[in-house]
């Protein structure tokens, strides 16, 4: 958003269009977005659409990895879901694959 470009996978819920709930999925630091595909069908079957942003410098994402850029990517992904996908803050979960931690609103 605001001219920020980022690379992310957007995967619809099962069945497609089932809900407007979104899971913002972040993979571990030694992986890339494709590794997070493991287990995504479980979340999709629960009715979550998934947005999995790639970290700068990983896979096809431009830039060099840094904590500041990862935070910027996370904020850009969240803003994209709010503005482009017209979601609400009440229908989001954030999952950090590397820690197995999930927070939901």
State how far the Cα of 1 lies from the Cα of 66, in Å rounded to an integer. 19
Residue 99: the pLDDT is 46
Assign residue 11 a region (left: φ > 0; alpha: ψ between -120 and 50; beta: otherwise): beta
Q: Is the pTM of this model over 0.75?
A: no
Output the pLDDT for position 62.
Answer: 74
The pLDDT of residue 73 is: 81
- What does the alpha-carbon distance between residue 97 and residue 79 come to, in Å, rounded to a whole number? 21
Q: Structural domain tally of the chain? A: 1
Q: Quick: pLDDT tens for 14-61.
A: 877 677 788 888 776 667 777 766 678 888 888 888 888 887 777 767
Range of the domain at 17: 8-104
Could you tell me if residue 17 is inside a domain? yes
Residue 69 is predicted with a pLDDT of 80
Query: Is 74 contained in some domain?
Result: yes
Q: Does residue 12 fall inside a structural domain?
A: yes
């Amino acid at each position: 958003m605001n001219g920020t470009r980022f690379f992310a996978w957007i995967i619809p819920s099962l069945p497609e269009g089932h809900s407007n709930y979104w899971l913002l999925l972040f993979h571990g630091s030694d992986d890339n977005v494709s590794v997070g595909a493991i287990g995504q069908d479980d979340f999709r079957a629960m009715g979550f659409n998934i947005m999995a942003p790639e970290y700068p410098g990983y896979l096809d994402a431009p830039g060099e990895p840094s904590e500041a850029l990862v935070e910027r990517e996370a904020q850009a992904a969240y803003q994209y879901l709010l503005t482009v996908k017209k979601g609400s803050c009440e229908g989001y979960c954030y999952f950090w694959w590397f820690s197995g931690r999930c927070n939901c609103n």
